[in-house]
Amino acid sequence: MRILHFYKDYFPDSMGGVEQVIRQLCVGTGRLGVRNEVLTLTAGDDLRPFEFEGHTVRRLHRDVNIASNGMSWAAFGELRRRAAECDVVHYHFPWPFMDLAHFAARIDKPTLVTYHSDIVRQKMLLRLYRPLKRKFLQSVDAIVATSPNYLASSAVLHRYRDKTRTITYGLDKSIYPQPDQARLDKWRALAGPRFFLFVGVLRYYKGLHILLDAVARREYPVVIVGAGPIEQELKAHAARLGLKHVMFVGAVDEADKVALLALCYAVAFPSHLRSEAFGISLLEGAMYGKPMISSEIGTGTTYINIHGETGLVVPPSDPQALGEAMRTLWDNPALAQEMGRRAEARYEALFTAERMARNYYALYQELAAR
């Protein structure tokens, strides 16, 4: 069986949450005999196809990028050609240009959309895009919501409930690198024996300004991993607050990220808007047995993190509540350790890449047989 994935970004150019999901999905279903191909865009000039962890990646030059909506005129023809050679086309939403390309390429193969997130911020553009979005979602054969929480809370998905099912994200811990002792020692020396960790792209919906406000009068060490469009804004905010115990380390490689996940005391994930539909780095924290703090925003974050069981859940945009949750974990190491153990057990039960791959493989077979 051959599956074509179509999304605006992918490894190695971009390493966000959706890209990680596509990667894990390709590796997992590849072990079940699926031949996966990812068609994506790049700002670079190297357009040669390459093999990555058992699947093929084809990149097209990104001609325009407006409001994170990358576009490539070559995509119309290339999508048509690649779709002709596959059994199922797997789209990853949202990406408005993808909807247009689907119709322009006249795709006539079975189609599937993983609905990663509602469009939250670009409200004016959403009004213009809404007719195309509805036509696209109506035209595909199946839609996948990434958590029961998101399916229940998304007004968009409610319109297509008859063809929507839930398959949660999953991660394969075995494909994460094992950091050596020297790397662990380096980060322990830099970050200290106990610290809260955030990992992610520094975007507006991640709520990091709330985290900074939460520790303004608390001396809990915080390590922030990642780069992004509001990085300088966050650093300036931390400087205004005089936060000497918050460390911005920028983007790091996978081995450094794993070292920090292994060493951290707990994961702080303050995303406060629905643009955070799931939280892959939150799930990585659970995979490494860490207690978590997150906000209740009606999405998959609260499917990963169960309040009082795997960590603590606080109201969004509430620095005081977030700070109190940090205090609770910091002052109660036995509680934090037990919550981390339960988080890892929940990951093993619900969020492995093997489980995700089996569920998608069954859906691929169902669609291909229609």
Tens of pLDDT, residues 1-44: 999 999 999 988 887 788 989 999 999 999 999 999 999 999 98
Asked whether the beta carbons of 19 and 9 are under 8 A apart, the reply is yes
Average pLDDT over residues 143-150: 94
What is the distance between the alpha carbons of residues 273 and 70, in angstroms, rounded to a whole number? 23
Provide the terminal-to-terminal Cα distance of the chain, rounded to the nearest Å: 14
What is the distance between the alpha carbons of residues 277 and 357, in angstroms, rounded to a whole number? 20
What three-state secondary structure class fits 40? strand
Name the strand (E) or helix (H) holding 355: helix 353-368
The angle, 0 to 180 degrees and rounded to 10, between the axes of the packed helices 96-104 and 123-139 is 40
Would you list the domain boundaries of the chain? 2-172+352-368, 174-350
Q: Please list, residue by residue across 161-181, b when 16 or more beta carbons sit within 10 angstroms of its beta carbon and e when fewer do.
A: eeebebbbbbbbeeebeebee
Average pLDDT over residues 281-294: 97
pTM of the model: 0.86
Residue 126 has pLDDT above 80, yes or no: no
Distances (CA, A) of 352 to 168, 170, 175, 310: 9, 4, 12, 17
Q: 174-350: same fold as 2-172+352-368?
A: yes
Fold of 174-350: Rossmann fold (3.40.50)
Average pLDDT over residues 303-324: 97
Q: 55: which 2 tokens?
A: 């699947």
Place domain 2-172+352-368 in its CATH homologous superfamily. Glycogen Phosphorylase B; (3.40.50.2000)
Summary mean pLDDT of the chain: 94
Average pLDDT over residues 212-241: 96
pLDDT (tens digit per residue) in 301-313: 999 999 999 999 9
pLDDT (tens digit per residue) in 342-357: 999 999 999 999 999 9
Residue 134 has pLDDT above 70, yes or no: yes
